[in-house]
Structure 1
Amino acid sequence: MHHPTVLEHIDEDAIRALPKAEVHIHLEGTFSLLDILTLAKENEVALPGPAATLFDITTHDAFTAPAVTTGGGAGAGAAGLTGFLRFLDWQCGLVRTPAQAARVAYAFAVRQSASGIRYSDVIVNPTHWNAWRGREFDLLEAFATGFDEAEQDGLCEVRVAYSLLRSQSAEEAERIVRDILELRPRRVIALSVDGDEKVSGRTGEKFRTAFALAASGGLRRTVHAGESSGPEGVWDAVELLQAERIDHGVRSIEDPALLERLVADGISLGVCPRSNVSLGIYPSWPEHPVRRLLEAGVQVTLNTDDPAPLGSTLESDWSVAAQQFGFTYADLVGFAARSIDASFAEPETKSRLHAELAAVAEARGR
């Protein structure tokens, strides 16, 4: 990776054309404004504020007034995260029928495909979907129906990482994993955990048995860590939860020994720069450690986290990253290759995507 004197211009069309995967994105954070307005009308639910400013959660009392939130999604400082999570809870609460859930899943695949994403490990935290409490596996089946239809229509292939919430108990987590292993819900490929580390504290020990069960049962493991807390969360994810991939993990930059461990074990970080800046982990793009992580030898992928409320797309985030950090087209091809490697796709899918990526990169180089 080099630092060009004159930045290479890389337009978003060229980024979209790169076959790639996305490995850190929450289904809860991908509802378009049209999705939300349609669901609200179908369920006769009033909007919390003007439709035109719905994604500006700081303007709506329903999301900013003091209250207890269920958690999930991205992570950040208290006030911004609290309102953000309440917004996700409200929005997901609009999904009440299997047909609506399948439509959300299909729309997700459409959104991913429009960015040139061929495969996604999407994070689903059922605690947000309050109409489905006690029927979480019915919700997963409805999502699978939508993902099936999307794949049949030639859209992005999607697998699901079932995400625990940090505030759930060890017993509940273990029951969920046992149910997943017994029922084997379609398209569920991994176990995840998310929520605000700063509020919940260190939860690695609490979920150690659940993740051990998941590993022994063949589920892949990805853990949110090293975001609103420091490197200790990443250590817990690696040593206690058998994490194969870390969602965020940016605070690893503060611990050289941890960086060495991530490199030695080949554990990738699903980094989301726009989310980190928008939600206050870093004050600006230039202060984000993505380049320093790469230069330390860590396997880093670039992802969107919750693109709809953050007002972004993957190609936009990659374009900004190229401008801010001096990434070249060759660097972005590297990000695409690492995204495929870091994904939980089947080996044959990875091989096909790598071949397609190499062909696109070669054609541009001619």
Structure 2
Amino acid sequence: MLPKAEVHVHLEGTFALVDILRLAKENGAALPGPAATIFDVSTHDAFTMPEITTGGTRPGVGGAGLSGFLRFLDWQCGLVRTREQAARIAYAFAARQTASGVRYSDVIVNPTHWNAWHGREIELMEALAAGLDEAEEDGLCVANIAYSLLRSQSAGEAEHAVATLADRRPSRVVALSVDGDEKSSGRTGEKFRSAFRAAESAGFRRTVHAGESSGPEGVWDALDHLHADRIDHGVRSIEDDVLVRRLVDESIPLGVCPRSNVTLGLYADWASHPLPRLVDAGVRVTLNTDDPAPLACSLDEDWAVAAATYGFDRADLVRFAAESIRASFADDDLKRDLLAELAGVADPGAPS
């Protein structure tokens, strides 16, 4: 298994079924349906879940596609109500990553999903960092946090969040992100311009969800308005030759998640996904899971599917692994060590 990084994975999308069941029991919360079908996308047709209306004590996770999925995350993350529970989820994330050969992760956390922590977002970051600290001490995957805004938030809310991050400097928060449904929120680059420029001035890296449910214009906005270091998804850049050339010329990496794009209906199947065309065009591409638990996948499994579908050989996968490390927000020393480890695995006979 090749050592690698993962740069586009949401903590909200890594809760295993056992995590959810334990949290629900601890909090006396009812499940939104039978435990056996919570993550059953074949039953729910790409997260199209029946609306649940049972008197207000049981959350509805209804809706279709990405919007319905985001509502499910709201319910799930609402089960995390104590510092200990948050730390446990973070530790479990690092263990899951390690099992897929992931040595480093930029994990995206969007506090708007964690409704028990509204107004206490920094405390949530600190609780998660405690779990990640323990995981690293135990030899598991190193992980840092990309604090994510939601597209529907206001410019003022975004600016306040960044000012608080810059003032408090919570442990392991290394980047600012923005996620959510592009199609329903419309173009938000201009709205968040001030917040992202403030984050840049404060030394935070920037990663932006764009070019997923909307077209290439979202990627243009991420580059022009938000000074993105990396684009999460970005796959619809392939529809704009000028944009593809800019991504190549400016060496902007994409955090691509083929299974997510297919499951949520952006592309019909893996074969029609533009991943190989982006690679052939010279774009820096990394392979990621996005939300592995509800998508019922792991990173090593998705790499195997990509290899089988697109004919990637071991040398190609080594290049993907190296790109994932270079595109990450790990510090330079860790990147150097991980690249050296990868080189030793890729060519065991090479001099160290």
TM-score bracket relative to the smaller structure: over 0.9
Pairing 1:79–2:61 present: no
- For the residues of structure 2 that align with 1:212 and 1:51, how far apart are their CA atoms? 44
Pairing 1:88–2:73 present: yes
Q: How does 1:141-290 map to 2 (within 5 A)?
A: 141-290=126-275
Pairing 1:46–2:68 present: no
Pairing 1:65–2:58 present: no
- For the residues of structure 2 that align with 1:290 and 1:168, how far apart are their CA atoms? 31
Pairing 1:138–2:123 present: yes
Tell me the equivalent position of 2:59.
Answer: none
The answer (yes or no) to whether the contact 1:63–1:87 under 8 Å persists in 2 is: no
Tell me the equivalent position of 1:24.
Answer: 8
Tell me the equivalent position of 1:55.
Answer: 39
Could you list the per-position Cα deviations for residues 305-325 of structure 1 after superposition, in whole angstroms to 9, with x for gaps in the alignment?
A: 000000000000000000000
The answer (yes or no) to whether the contact 1:48–1:62 under 8 Å persists in 2 is: no
Could you list the per-position Cα deviations for residues 100-159 of structure 1 after superposition, in whole angstroms to 9, with x for gaps in the alignment?
A: 000000000000000010000000000000011111111111001000000000000000
Q: Which amino acid aligns with 2:290?
A: D
- For the residues of structure 1 that align with 2:349 and 2:5, how far apart are their CA atoms? 20
- For the residues of structure 2 that align with 1:260 and 1:59, how far apart are their CA atoms? 39
Could you list the per-position Cα deviations for residues 328-357 of structure 1 after superposition, in whole angstroms to 9, with x for gaps in the alignment?
A: 010000000000000000000000000000
- TM superposition shift of 1:62: 10
Q: Cα–Cα, structure 1 residues 153 and 284, in superposed 2: closer, same or farther, change >3 Å?
A: same
- TM superposition shift of 1:83: 1.9
Tell me the equivalent position of 2:106.
Answer: 121
Q: Cα–Cα, structure 1 residues 93 and 40, in superposed 2: closer, same or farther, change >3 Å?
A: same
- TM superposition shift of 1:203: 0.2
Q: 264, 284, 288: which one pairs with 1:299?
A: 284
Identity %: 69
- For the residues of structure 1 that align with 2:52 and 2:296, how far apart are their CA atoms? 25
Q: How does 1:328-343 map to 2 (within 5 A)?
A: 328-343=313-328
Q: 63, 81, 97: which one pairs with 1:112?
A: 97
Q: Cα–Cα, structure 1 residues 298 and 42, in superposed 2: closer, same or farther, change >3 Å?
A: same
What runs of 5+ residues in structure 1 fail to find an aligned partner? 1-16, 68-77
- For the residues of structure 1 that align with 2:26 and 2:293, how far apart are their CA atoms? 21
The answer (yes or no) to whether the contact 1:64–1:82 under 8 Å persists in 2 is: no
- For the residues of structure 1 that align with 2:271 and 2:238, how far apart are their CA atoms? 15
Ranges of 4+ aligned residues in structure 1 off by more than 4 Å: 57-63
What SS does the corresponding residue of 2:107 show, helix, strand or coil?
Answer: strand
- TM superposition shift of 1:216: 0.7
The answer (yes or no) to whether the contact 1:63–1:86 under 8 Å persists in 2 is: no
Higher relative contact order (CA 8 A, sep 6+): 1
What SS does the corresponding residue of 1:310 show, helix, strand or coil?
Answer: coil
- Taking only aligned residues, the RMSD between alpha carbons, in angstroms, comes to 1.8
- TM superposition shift of 1:92: 0.4
- For the residues of structure 1 that align with 2:198 and 2:32, how far apart are their CA atoms? 41
What SS does the corresponding residue of 1:96 show, helix, strand or coil?
Answer: coil
- TM superposition shift of 1:164: 0.2
Could you list the per-position Cα deviations for residues 262-312 of structure 1 after superposition, in whole angstroms to 9, with x for gaps in the alignment?
A: 011110000000000000010010000000001100000000000000000
Could you list the per-position Cα deviations for residues 40-83 of structure 1 after superposition, in whole angstroms to 9, with x for gaps in the alignment?
A: 1111111111111111266599954399xxxxxxxxxx721122
TM-score, normalized by length of structure 2? 0.94
What SS does the corresponding residue of 1:177 show, helix, strand or coil?
Answer: helix
- For the residues of structure 1 that align with 2:340 and 2:22, how far apart are their CA atoms? 39
- For the residues of structure 2 that align with 1:328 and 1:307, how far apart are their CA atoms? 24
TM-score, normalized by length of structure 1? 0.90
Q: Cα–Cα, structure 1 residues 235 and 38, in superposed 2: closer, same or farther, change >3 Å?
A: same
Could you list the per-position Cα deviations for residues 169-188 of structure 1 after superposition, in whole angstroms to 9, with x for gaps in the alignment?
A: 00110010010000001100
* Equivalent pairs, count: 340
What SS does the corresponding residue of 2:294 show, helix, strand or coil?
Answer: helix
Q: Which amino acid aligns with 1:353?
A: L
- For the residues of structure 1 that align with 2:257 and 2:155, how far apart are their CA atoms? 28
Q: Which amino acid aligns with 1:195?
A: G
